[in-house]
Amino acid sequence: MRRKIAAGNWKLNGTRASAAVLEALVEQHPNPGAEVIICPPAPLIPILAGLGTPFAIGGQDCHAAASGAHTGDTSAEVLADTGATHVILGHSERRADHGETDDMVCAKAKAAYRAGLTAIICVGETEPQRDTGTTLDVIATQLAGSVPEGATPENTVVAYEPVWAIGTGRTPSLEDIAEVHAAIRDRLAERFGPKAADAMRILYGGSVKPGNAADIFAVPNVDGGLVGGASLKAEDFGPIIAAADATR
């Protein structure tokens, strides 16, 4: 039985005052059945982690190196040291804005493992790739290149985020989500064996909202969601946590 995950990716949003969002969510869900992970901008990690809630806190990226001359970057070690237990890696916004390749994402995932963090590794096709029928090939290539040897159900979560569904209010059909998630689990089984693959969580991300979360989380092989815009307000993310709880 895979425990569902409701993960919030705050992206470039939030201030210290956003601790109130976390507090409101904890009030709604003091003892969630699902695993709740909040990924704020890095400087907010120690503040949110310091609240000592039942929710996990994660980073949105890390550098592959543990230390060194890399101005502006954050190591997996400092994320862990300041209270993070997870880190999102290979998000399509980082692949697009910062030219991150599968090799770079793989190196970052190894850094996450080194620091004891769980890597949430993102894959997903663009709209032209979906339109030309190459979605499953694109995802297979991204998985092969981005997920390191040594991935386990404990240290790795995969997030399927179709690029065209992020922030657009559009989502694939439930059938299309089922097809991609099943293909991801097959690829994971080929590399890590059926037992490990069966225990790995695969999240869906891209325009998850209170109104569609329950339907999406009930799709076979969907083990929860990675949520952007709807994770910023407790009145939106609270019902999404509830949907993850209910479809356990």
Q: Name the site residues for ligand 13P (rule: CB under 6 A).
A: 9, 91, 161, 166-167, 205-208, 226-230
**Amino acid identity, position 107:** A
CA dihedral 69, 72, 73, 77 (to 10 degrees): 80
Distance between CA 199 and CA 156 in Å, rounded?
10
Residues known to be catalytic: 91, 161
Dihedral Cα 81, 86, 90, 93, nearest 10 deg: -90
Of 7 and 192, which has the nearer Cβ to ligand 13P? 7
Closest distance of CB 172 from ligand 13P, Å? 12
Least distance from ligand 13P to the Cβ atom of residue 84, Å: 16
State the minimum distance, in angstroms, from the CB of residue 112 to ligand 13P.
16
Cβ nearer to ligand 13P, comparing 77 with 93: 93
Rounded CA gap, 236 and 3, in Å? 21
Q: Which is nearer to ligand 13P, 29 or 91 (CB)?
A: 91
Distance, in Å, from the CA atom of 194 to the CA atom of 2, rounded to the nearest integer, reads 14
- The token pair that represents 32 in the structure block: 């969630």
Q: Which C-beta is closer to ligand 13P: that of 21 or that of 226?
A: 226
Q: How far is the CB of 162 from ligand 13P (least distance, A)?
A: 10
- For residue 94, report the phi and psi dihedrals to the nearest 5 degrees: -75, -40
Q: Cβ-closest residue to ligand 13P?
A: 228
d(CA 49, CA 70): 25
